[in-house]
Structure 1
Amino acid sequence: MAQAPFTSTAWAFGGLAAAFLGVVAYGVWLEDFQRTFLAEILVWGVFALSVSLVFGVGGMLSFAQALYFGAGCWGYNLAVFGYGLTGWAPVAAGVAAALAFAAPTGFVATRVRQHHTLIVTVILSVLVSTVLASGHWRWIAGPYVTRSLPEAPALPLGAATIDYADEMSAFLATTALVFAACLLALLLIRSPFGLAMKAVRENEAKAALLGYDVRLLRWLMFVASAGFAGFAGVLYLMLSRYSNLEFFDWTYSARAMVMAALGGLGTLVGPFVGAAVYYLAAEHLSRFFEQFMILVGVLLLVLVRFMPEGLWGGAVRMIRNRALR
């Protein structure tokens, strides 16, 4: 018998909470450097999650996610350096900047279909990153290519304050914020909007006949995924305390696409699995094999052939098949 939607969502929430409690327990046991590395993997997982939403759920192959990651950094910097804001205000400004930037660019990108979306988003990425790198509009870092925060971020939480200068506090805060992003993504996917978006992805013509506004749904999903990418940019900036113009480059979108595909598109956990595989390979394999991306590419080709749902999706499928035996 099929589970009720509420029960299914409750189970998903419970599994998500258990997974992040496990991450916290593991992170507390690690050394400071390893703990920070784990936090960075979680942040890049949120960035890959934005790709999982726009492509895995929305069916739109977008290479513009780096624009919104960079816009999140720019919004945070603008709040800090331009207006002297602190606390949660720069976080909100970063996400708002990504959403504001995604609204018009997403309108253009969602007017086309299939591979044309890829072409348009690549053009947008190249155009924006080229203009920013020209030296006339270095929005993210003022007159510099790279800009560091003047001090470690501090987030007020009731009577307490989360100080990012402390490695443990930064890790716990990052983990909690990533968990909040995953919970929001879960609610988005399981909402009537998410279900309608899946219907559009599976059969756009049929969804239109059923009365769905296909263009509006596609645009809303595009903007929502950009919000997650912008939030990832904010988290990375707070954790690393620096930003760079290269964050706008389309190659960062390609990196997020690889991570999402490795773990499993259209899932919540898959992008984090893919991010872990990618950055563990970058950290360890690059010591012995400079072009480690060749090995990652070979792994991706094998997955596309034998496990197209990704590492996480394939593992879930095998567990379900065994349970049905």
Structure 2
Amino acid sequence: MNSRHSNFSFCSFTSLFFRYGYILVASLLVLLPLQLADYQQIFVAEIFIWGLFALSFSLVYGYGGMLSFAQAVFFGFGCWGFNVGTFYFDFSIWGSLVCAFLAATVFAVPIGFFATRVRQHHFLIVTVIVSVLVVMILASGHYRWIAGPYVTRSLPSAPEIPFGFFSLSYANELVAYYFTATMVSLGVFLAYRLISSPFGKSLLALKDNAMRAQLVGLNVNFLRWMMFVAAAGIAGYSGALYALLARYTNLEFFHWTYSGKAVIWSVIGGVQSIFGPFLGTAFYMITNEYLSRYFEQFIVLFGVLMLIILRFAPDGIWGIATRFFRLRG
């Protein structure tokens, strides 16, 4: 009787969450900045952007089964594409965001074609090599004939967001927050549609048992390739949003260590969920912001935390929260 009541309560909670949860999240996003100082609004907007970047890794690893350290490369190409659209083509913000997405996906097509032909740790090695090669080429000083002067170029001032007959200034922290939250929500929606589509279901089947997926007629290499490219597009999109918010781009964004940050954030939050990477990113950035003042070797504490999570809660904070509500139900 208790078990039946518990299952009913949890199912009711889950149903209500997915029915009304998006309303609660949207309400929180709207009301939160009204309680924050200007600098805190920008800080939360940064969490949204880096959370979207971490989500791009979760798509590749949590749903595609590919441990990629190349996400930072596509984040960097997103920054580059945004700069090309802004300074070379003189596009508005909307056109530059499209340029960033296209730049990341175009570069991901050949990289993913070769990387997805190998398996397991070989895939990891290939993505690390790609990241190192890209950084070495761009850092050599001979990259201008490849990428032009747009790798490290930044916006000189806060841009205007055109909306037909009127525009809003990004110099207003509240405008920057709401625009970032809206654009990140769009990226999350696209990711959700991707993984809930037949394509996403096929990828999960492939991750669970690649041999069985091949036997039922799924094209393993093509599915992995397409997920790699789609995740790269989201990483590039997040890079453009960061270049817009921070008005800063740098060669360091291409480095594989930024991919490592995405791995940490995703593992802490939960790699097989949409919201897990955002929870992990928020947890890391908030605790780093405050605890690093008191602990000089703060990153060591996070290394220990990573080991604990991998051992006792491999599904991350999101998984812990899910089990908590199941028990409470």
**TM-score, scaled relative to structure 1:** 0.92
Matches within 5 A, 1:126-205: 126-137=132-143, 142=149, 146-205=152-211
Q: Which moved more, 1:83-92 or 1:240-249?
A: 83-92
Q: 1:17 to 1:46 in 2, by over 3 A?
A: farther
In the other structure, the counterpart of 1:255 is: 261
CA–CA distance in structure 2, aligned partners of residues 269 and 21 of structure 1: 16
**Structural RMSD (CA):** 2.0
Partner SS state of residue 134, structure 2: helix
Q: Which residue of 2 aligns with 1:88?
A: 94
User: Counterparts of 2:318 and 2:21 in 1: how far apart (Å)?
Assistant: 14
Alignment of 1:202-217 (within 5 A): 202-217=208-223
Shift of 1:142: 1.8
Deviation at 1:9, TM superposition (A): 10
State the 1:283 CA deviation: 0.9
Identity score, percent: 49
Q: CA deviation at 1:278?
A: 1.1
User: Which residue does 2:76 correspond to in 1?
Assistant: 70
Q: Indicate conservation of the 8 Å contact 1:110/1:215, yes or no.
A: yes
What are the Cα deviations for residues 54-98 of structure 1, in whole angstroms up to 9, with x where unaligned? 000111000000000000000011111222222311110001000
Instruction: Tell me which residue corresponds to 2:4.
Output: none
Letter in 2 for 1:31: A
CA displacement 1:26-45 (0-9 Å, x = unmatched)? 12210000110000000000
Change (3 A) 1:227 1:29: same
Taking a change above 3 Å as real, the CA distance of residues 180 and 120 of structure 1, as seen in their structure-2 partners, is same
| Amino acid corresponding to residue 114 of structure 2 in structure 1 | V
- Residue segments in structure 1 that go unaligned for 5+ positions in a row: 3-7
Which of 216, 222, 229 is equivalent to 2:228? 222
Letter in 2 for 1:215: N
When residues 121 and 320 of structure 1 are mapped into structure 2, their CA distance, relative to the original with a 3 A threshold, is same
- State the secondary structure of the residue aligned to 1:111: coil
Query: Relative to 1, partners in 2 of residues 1:140 and 1:259: Cα closer, same or farther, differing over 3 Å?
Result: farther
Q: How many residues align?
A: 317
Determine which structure has more spread, i.e. the larger CA radius of gyration: 2
Answer yes or no: is the 8 Å Cα contact 2:92–2:162 preserved in 1: no
In 2, are the aligned partners of 1:141 and 1:245 still within 8 Å (CA)?
A: no
- The question of whether the paired residues in 1 share the 8 Å contact of 2:83 and 2:154 is answered with no
Deviates more, 1:41-50 or 1:162-171: 162-171
**Amino acid corresponding to residue 221 of structure 1 in structure 2:** M
Q: Counterparts in 2 of 1:1-325, with a 5 A limit?
A: 12=18, 14-137=20-143, 142=149, 146-323=152-329
Distance 1:177 1:136, change over 3 A: same
Change (3 A) 1:176 1:58: same
**Pairwise CA distance, 1:11:** 6.0
Larger mean CA deviation between 306-315 and 39-48 belongs to: 306-315
Equivalents in 2 of 1:155, 1:217: separation in Å?
A: 36
Work out whether residues 69 and 247 of structure 1, in 8 Å CA contact, stay in contact via their aligned partners in 2: yes
Read off the aligned partner of 2:174 and give its amino acid letter: M
Contact 2:55 2:277 in 1 (8 A): yes
Write the distance in 2 (CA, Å) between the matches of 1:197 and 1:95.
22
Q: Give the C-alpha shift of residue 162 in structure 1.
A: 3.2
Q: Which amino acid aligns with 1:239?
A: L
Give the drift of 1:17.
4.3
- Tell me the alpha carbon deviations over residues 223-276 of structure 1, each in whole angstroms, 9 at most, x when there is no partner: 011011001101101100110010000000000110000000021110001001
Report if aligned partners of 1:200, 1:207 keep a CA contact under 8 Å in 2.
yes
Work out the CA distance in 2 between the residues paired with 1:141 and 1:250.
Answer: 22
Q: Give structure 2 stretches of 5+ with no counterpart.
A: 1-6, 9-13
Give the letter aligned to residue 266 of structure 1. Q
Deviation of the 1:158 alpha carbon: 4.1
Distance 1:236 1:82 in 2: 19
- Structure 2 residue matching 1:148: 3-state secondary structure: coil
How many Å separate the matches in 2 of 1:159 and 1:12?
37
* TM-score, normalisation: structure 2: 0.91
**Alpha-carbon distance, 1:187 to partner:** 1.0
